[in-house]
């Protein structure tokens, strides 16, 4: 059998595996929990497919801008956020969506957010992905990112042992721009900030390169492009926003990722005899419930599983599902350290690039903007550290990828 035929056969098998697992997950969620949980699981699948086909990596977009001065990825994020606040703010201002109560992710403005986001930013560059990026690259077949995910979970669990100390550092109460300013003023303020960031990337990119980067030409068009990718970054940003809005409608709150990773690690630790339930973090009602209940009932866990399966389906449709277990030692070390930093930082900062940055800003929370600033600074440090762990990157120009 030729190499091409072998790849095609592997991709066909993995397509069916992804479809069967998505079907089982959907039916199981419906039978155990209900229709909303089944739909949220499928939304997770759609998120995974979107993230993979659009290569919508927050980590790579920031790295490319820091190293090469190319801002196409950052501008796509600003479009995504602009559409998100346009959809979210009126619903959050009203307190309901389609007749159901909704709440945003509004967290304290605190030192723990600044420190956690900074740590998370370093972890993004060493681990090779953010929270959503880790999930969808694992689903896409990356063995290295599976290591990052395992230590992401461990870092999250370690942070829960003493979160009270971090949360008691100097802080302000949660600040919602929607509540404080009103829907329209909050929208206008956010639109101005998004536009300023986009304009800065345009000015800086033209200053360094003379022109803006053009979206690469796609091999496929129409339905073939939709199924096999790659999608334009802007498509990805728009789809992520619409799916996050659907999550708000069904779950009553926006899309999040990392709380589930702490739950996975805590359940695993409990299974091997660690008395996690005695820790103060896991005695809080919501966390205690997540620890004791089946994962079928945990919205974030089910959506995370959906993301990985959706990415598996997308990678298989693109003919790119090809796990590689040959991980260089330095890269493996970076995955371990990066994963720990990602998990630890996410808990301190009340979320990650999804829960704190994307959904936080979409919720009108001031802590989302604070997260953006300090996570970007952390990414700058992480980019400086990468050559030690990834020496092969030194002579090569950066390109936007999903990592």
Q: What is the pLDDT of residues 114-151, one digit of tens each?
A: 999 999 999 999 999 888 999 999 999 899 999 999 99
The closest alpha carbon to 57, from 137, 120, 146, belongs to 137
Cβ contacts of residue 342 below 8 Å, gap of 6+?
Answer: 120, 123, 124, 127, 130, 131, 134, 148, 151, 152, 155, 352
Does the pLDDT at position 5 exceed 90?
A: no
Q: Which residues contact 57 (CB under 8 A, 6 or more apart)?
A: 73, 129, 130, 133, 400, 401, 402, 403
pLDDT at 222 > cutoff 50: yes
> What pLDDT shows up at residue 359?
97
Angle between helical axes of 143-159 and 111-127 (0-180°, round to 10): 160
Residue 189 has pLDDT above 60, yes or no: yes
Measured CA to CA, the distance from residue 158 to residue 162 in angstroms comes to 8
At residue 225, the pLDDT reads: 79
Q: What is the pLDDT of residue 204?
A: 96
Residue 397: is its pLDDT beyond 50? no
Distance between CA atoms of residues 349 and 343, nearest Å = 10
Task: Report the alpha-carbon distance of residue 229 to residue 63 in Å, rounded.
Answer: 23
The pLDDT of residue 116 is 97
Q: What is the pLDDT at residue 175? A: 97
* 224, pLDDT greater than 90: no
Least-confidence region, from 246-260, 282-296, 312-326: 312-326
Reported as a pLDDT band with limits 50, 70 and 90, residue 215 is confident
In the predicted model, is pLDDT for residue 316 greater than 50? yes
Cis before residue 273, ω within 30 degrees of 0? no
The residues with which 97 forms a beta bridge, in sequence order, are: 100
Of 24-33, 213-222, 247-256, the least confident: 213-222
Region 185-201 average pLDDT: 98
Buried b (16+ CB within 10 A) or exposed e, 332-347: eebbbbbbbbbbbbbb
pLDDT interval class at 47 (50, 70, 90): very high
Minimum mean pLDDT range among 102-116, 210-224, 253-267, 292-306? 210-224
Judge contact between 127 and 134, C-beta under 8 A. Answer: yes
If DSSP states are collapsed to H, E and C, what string results for the chain? CCHHHHHHHHHHHHHHHHHHHHHHHHHHHHHHCCHHHHHHHHHHHHHHHHHHHCCCCHHHHHHHHHHHCCCHHHHHHHHHHHHHHHHHHHHHHHCEECCEECCCCCCCEEHHHHHHHHHHHHHHHHHCCCHHHHHHHHHCCCHHHHHHHHHHHHHHHHHCCCHHHHHCCCEECCCEHHHHHCHHHHHHHHHHHHHHHHHHHHHHHHHHHCCCCCCCCCCCCHHHHHHHCCCCHHHHHHHHHHHHHHHHHHHCCCCCCHHHHHHHHHHHHHHCCCCHHHCHHHHCHHHHHHHHCCHHHCHHHHHHHHHHHHHHHHHHHCCCCCCCCCCCHHHHHHHHHHHHHHHHHHHHCCCCHHHHHHHHHHCCEHHHHHHHHHHHHHHHHHHHHHHHHCHHHCCCCCCCCCC
pLDDT in tens, 323-375: 888 889 999 999 999 999 999 999 999 999 999 999 999 999 999 999 999 99
Residue located via tokens 């619409």: 242
Would you say residue 289 has pLDDT above 60? yes
Mean pLDDT score of the chain = 92
Report phi then psi at 240, rounded to 5: -60, -40
Whether the per-residue pLDDT at 396 is higher than 50: the answer is: no
Q: What's residue 345's pLDDT?
A: 97
* CA geometry: angle 20, 46, 33, nearest 5 deg: 65
Q: What pLDDT does 221 receive?
A: 76
318 vs 239: which has the higher pLDDT:
239
Phi, psi torsion values for 356, nearest 5 degrees: -95, -45
pLDDT, residue 10, reads: 59
pLDDT over 80 (residue 46): yes
CB proximity list for 263: less than 8 A, separation 6 or greater: 290, 291, 295, 298, 300, 301
State residue 227's pLDDT score: 78
pLDDT more than 90, % of the chain: 81
């Amino acid at each position: 059998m030729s190499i091409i035929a072998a790849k095609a056969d592997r991709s066909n098998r993995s397509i069916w595996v992804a479809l069967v697992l998505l079907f089982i997950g959907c039916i199981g969620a419906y039978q155990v929990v209900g229709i909303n949980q089944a739909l949220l699981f499928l939304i997770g699948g759609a998120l995974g497919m979107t993230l993979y086909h659009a290569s919508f990596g927050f980590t790579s977009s920031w790295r490319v801008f820091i190293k090469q001065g190319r801002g196409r990825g950052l501008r796509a994020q600003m479009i995504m956020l602009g559409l998100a606040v346009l959809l979210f703010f009126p619903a959050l201002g009203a307190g309901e969506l389609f007749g159901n109560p909704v709440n945003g992710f509004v967290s304290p403005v605190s030192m723990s957010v600044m420190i956690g986001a900074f740590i998370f930013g370093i972890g993004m560059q060493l681990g090779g992905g953010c929270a959503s990026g880790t999930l969808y690259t694992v689903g896409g077949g990356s063995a290295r990112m599976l290591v990052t995910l395992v230590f992401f979970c461990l870092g999250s669990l370690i942070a829960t042992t003493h979160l009270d100390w971090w949360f008691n550092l100097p802080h302000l109460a949660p600040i919602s721009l929607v509540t404080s300013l009103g829907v329209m003023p909050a929208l206008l303020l956010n639109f101005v900030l998004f536009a300023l960031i986009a304009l800065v990337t345009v000015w800086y990119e033209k200053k360094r390169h003379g022109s803006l980067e053009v979206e690469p030409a796609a091999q496929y068009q129409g339905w073939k492009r939709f199924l096999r990718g790659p999608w334009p970054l802007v498509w990805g940003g728009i789809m992520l926003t619409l799916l996050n809005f659907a999550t708000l409608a069904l779950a009553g709150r926006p899309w999040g990722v990392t709380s589930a990773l702490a739950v996975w690690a805590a359940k695993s630790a409990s299974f091997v005899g660690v008395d996690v339930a005695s820790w103060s973090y896991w005695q809080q009602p919501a966390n205690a419930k997540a620890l004791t209940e089946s994962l079928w009932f945990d919205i974030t866990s089910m959506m995370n599983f959906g993301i990985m399966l959706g990415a598996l389906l997308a990678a298989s449709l693109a003919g790119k599902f090809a796990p590689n277990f040959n991980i260089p030692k330095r890269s493996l070390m970076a995955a371990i350290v990066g994963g720990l930093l990602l998990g630890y930082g996410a808990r301190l900062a009340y979320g990650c690039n999804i829960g704190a940055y994307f959904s936080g800003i979409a919720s009108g929370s001031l802590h989302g903007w604070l997260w953006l600033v300090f996570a970007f600074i952390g990414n700058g440090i992480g980019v400086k550290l990468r050559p030690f762990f990834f020496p092969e990157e030194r002579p090569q120009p950066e390109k936007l990828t999903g990592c």
